[in-house]
A and B are shown apart, each in its own frame.
Chain A
Amino acid sequence: MSVAAVIEAPTRRQKRVLPGFGLTMGLTLTYVGIIVLLPVIALVLKGAEIGPLRFWEIVTAPRTLAALRLTITAAALATAFNALYGLLMAWVLVRYRFPGRRLLDAMMDIPFALPTAVAGLALTALFSENGWYGAILAPAGISVVYTIWGVAIAMAFTSIPFVVRTVQPILEDLDASQEEAARTLGATPFQIFSRVIFPAILPAYLIGTTIAFARSLGEFGAVIFIAGNLPMKTEVASLLAVIRLEEYDYNGAAAIALTLVAIALVLLALSNWLQAQLTRRRVPA
């Protein structure tokens, strides 16, 4: 191909100087078509086949609603925790210098690096009655395993890095002169944070929390270990989709899966919109 392509290319396609357009286009489209698009199309077609009325019936069935409610509530709890913890971590890692900072920074990658099943196993064992945490919490009457709290903890763990890693770079690049100006004008540290720093990191902060929330909604591996998966009580929506599949109720599975995909895509669009706001704000500066 080598010699022929080089001789032929300029005469045939004047505009494209670099080689490989046809090859990479063919390869990429074929691959993405088979691996990514085809399965997604299968889901959409299955969903379309159900019909709006049946779809609505499936999604509003008590067990589905209970699963969706649990998933969204637990994800909101997990995201609330990560919004606070992530902001704290980003702030501490960027603004302070102390021994062990780099190690602490590396720890933020553990939840991504650790397979979710491993995280689920470890958290379940830790919080069960004879685990290190459960042994302390049980006498106080607090049970985590097989409750919504367990689900929320598993979701929180697996989505830890999102807020930290989106806020961190913005905080690092922040222009110090505005803070200096505020300080010279007599602002207290809290005022500087709430009036100068926080507005600057807000778009990134919102992106991070949105992605963390989306990830929590879809979390499966870590959750099913700790949830106990009792129908109507601690069964997350994605598990219900799988249960429907195992019952050969393909319509039920497709409807629930499509609902989850729709929520994820809305959240993705929201974070993309925030991203656009962020870049627009940064360009003039």
Chain B
Amino acid sequence: MTPAAAPAALAPRQDLRTANLLIGLAVALTLFIVVVPLAYIFWRALSEGFAVFAQNIMAPDTLHAIWLTTVVAVITLPINLVIGISAAWLIARFTFPGRKLLLTIIELPFSISPIIAGVCYLLLYGRQGLLGPALAAGDIKILFALPGIVLVTLFVTSPFVAREVLPLMQAQGSEQEQAALTLGASGWQVFRRVTLPNIRWALLYGAVLATARAVGEFGAVSVVSGAIRGQTNTLPLQIELLFNDLNIVGAFAAASTLTLIALVVLVLKTVIEGRTR
């Protein structure tokens, strides 16, 4: 992220007025479209005082939404970690027919809009969907319940870990792992002592991004959750519900907790980037 000497060498010759104008414009625009909206969230959340803010957060439905969002994040994280490592190991370490196709499919959720993902899930598990009749016969409830929310969240978050870990594994090569194997280490030992330490920051990075997305996902979840008050409402859906109820301060209180999480994620991201470079 920090470029070498090139810009410094160019800078003095450039028209200083143009430079100042462009910097000023960049700062002003960013202030208007990024910083002010960010600050506004906290300002509105606290606009009626901290007591009201706390009351809004502690409202039973909002508390339940926070709980549900946490549950979804806790379930999806380990799955994403295991599958992300597995996919990265498979693609980085072995050549096999269909390898490129597999990579394309793994990254597919990034090019399908989350709302369309939700539609796909409904067409699969819905009453008139592909598996709908079978599920109804077995009395298995996936949609408008926790399993549906978890599944669709897994869809939208599935590429994150693999995408961070894979390039690193490819760049590092497998010499160390092969050496360990030659020295008599078992597959599991190689993974724990060689592979895992080598990829740990990329893994953490991917985990942070995936979890942030799991917590904040709106479109995909909104289709499959049914948004049942106090039951299948995640925190982002709760924001919409409060907004539609015209409880704007309550909506901003809920939004501010997600914003705080987003800011923590950004700090973590910066710290991890500092570690890996």
Contact = CB atoms under 8 A, between A and B. Distances in A.
Interface of A: 1-3, 5-6, 16-21, 23-25, 27-29, 31-32, 35-43, 45-46, 85, 88-89, 91-98, 100, 104-111, 113-119, 121-126, 131-132, 156-157, 160, 172, 174, 176, 179, 183, 189, 214-215, 217-221, 224-225, 238-239, 241-242, 245, 248, 250, 253-254, 257, 260-261, 264-265, 268
Given A25-B90, A96-B22, A221-B219, A6 B266 contact: no
A23 B23 CA distance: 53
B32 to A, nearest CB: 8
Given A40-B108, A89-B30, A238-B116, A18 B181 contact: yes
A2 B10 contact: no
Interface of B: 1, 3, 6-11, 13-15, 18-19, 22-23, 25-27, 29-30, 33-38, 40-41, 44, 82-83, 86-87, 89-90, 93-94, 96, 102, 105-106, 108-109, 111-124, 126, 128-131, 151, 154-155, 158, 174, 177-178, 181, 184, 186-191, 212, 215-219, 222-223, 236-237, 239-240, 243, 248, 251-252, 255, 258-259, 262-263, 265-266, 269-270
Given A36-B106, A115-B218, A118-B216, A43 B123 contact: yes
Given A6-B181, A35-B154, A43-B123, A88 B37 contact: no
A250 B96 CA distance: 38
A172 B219 CA distance: 35
B7 A97 contact: yes
B190 A19 contact: yes
Contact of A116 (B123, B124, B218, B269): B218
A233 to B, nearest CB: 19
B123 A24 contact: no
A32 B212 contact: no
Contact of B236 (A17, A117, A265): A117
A32 B106 contact: yes
Contact of B105 (A32, A100, A105, A157): A32
A110 B216 CA distance: 13
Given A2-B186, A35-B154, A88-B29, A40 B112 contact: yes
A96 B30 contact: no
28 contacts: A5-B187, A6-B186, A18-B174, A20-B90, A31-B158, A36-B108, A42-B120, A88-B29, A89-B30, A92-B22, A92-B26, A95-B14, A96-B22, A97-B7, A106-B270, A114-B258, A116-B236, A117-B240, A125-B40, A126-B36, A189-B18, A218-B112, A218-B113, A218-B114, A218-B116, A220-B218, A221-B219, A239-B115
A122 B94 contact: no
A113 B262 contact: yes
A226 to B, nearest CB: 11
A183 B12 CA distance: 13
Contacts of B25: 88
Given A19-B187, A24-B87, A122-B40, A117 B26 contact: no
Contact of B119 (A121, A125, A245): A245
Contacts of B255: 117-118, 121-122
A249 to B, nearest CB: 10
Contacts of B112: 40, 218, 261, 264
Contact of A220 (B36, B38, B114): B114
Contact of A40 (B120, B219, B269): B120
A113 B111 contact: no
Contacts of A123: 37
Given A42-B120, A109-B269, A36 B34 contact: no
Contacts of A225: 240, 243
A250 B115 contact: no
A219 B147 CA distance: 24
B275 to A, nearest CB: 16
Contacts of B269: 109, 113
Contacts of B15: 189
Contacts of B239: 117-118, 121
B11 A97 contact: yes
Contacts of A93: 26
Contact of B189 (A2, A113, A121, A239): A2
B266 to A, nearest CB: 5
B262 to A, nearest CB: 4
Nearest to B269: A109
B258 A118 contact: yes
A113 to B, nearest CB: 4
Contacts of A125: 40, 44, 248, 252
A119 B115 CA distance: 16
A41 B22 CA distance: 48
A88 B24 CA distance: 11
Which one of A110, A111, A117, A156 has the greatest number of beta carbons of chain B within 10 Å?
A117
Contacts of B188: 1-2
B45 to A, nearest CB: 10
